[in-house]
Structure 1
Amino acid sequence: PELMELDTSAPPEAVPALWRQISDFYFGNAQPHVSLEKPQPFIDLYSDRGFLHGFRRSIEMHARAGHKRLFVYEMAYRGRFSFSMLFGGGLNDYGV
């Protein structure tokens, strides 16, 4: 839970219950575990928190500021400088 910095988005007393909900969503009933054999749940969890959460907040702020024409795109292009290369994933395609 510390890696997700949930305490920056929720009161400290709510973090344990919030983490249980998040953990169940991404890992099912299994103990949260990161492995080379099954990396996708952790990748999804980390990318949702690290990228999509801020992205969504930014969209909400623009909408509240009165910006009427917002366009959201999701790119599926894997470039030469993929995050998986940067973070040690080598040539494996983890979707980031």
Structure 2
Amino acid sequence: MEIADKDYTIFKGYVIYKIVADKLSMTKVRGMHVLQHIDIPFAKITNLIVEDYYGTDCVSFTYQDKKYSFIYTGYGESQSLIHQLYKALKA
């Protein structure tokens, strides 16, 4: 996961995420330490983009003037994330 505003990268690291009702719930982690929890309502997500990034899918979107990018989510996980986000955003 990478989070960036228009000037620079704010966070690069791992997140644990899940889709809960009408939001994407993420917890930023570094090792065994929880850094921050973020709930992003689907209604507030804009600019959802799926693109190729060196042979893997990069899923990115904008929320509160920050760009959130899932660069590599694991084998098959990016397709699941893409499907879940599209499904939630169309609901």
TM range (shorter): under 0.3
Of Structure 1 and Structure 2, the greater helix share is in: 1
In terms of Rg, which structure is larger? 1
RCO greater where, 1 or 2, for CA within 8 Å and sep 6 or more?
A: 2
The TM-score, its normalising length taken from structure 2, stands at 0.26
Of Structure 1 and Structure 2, the greater strand share is in: 2
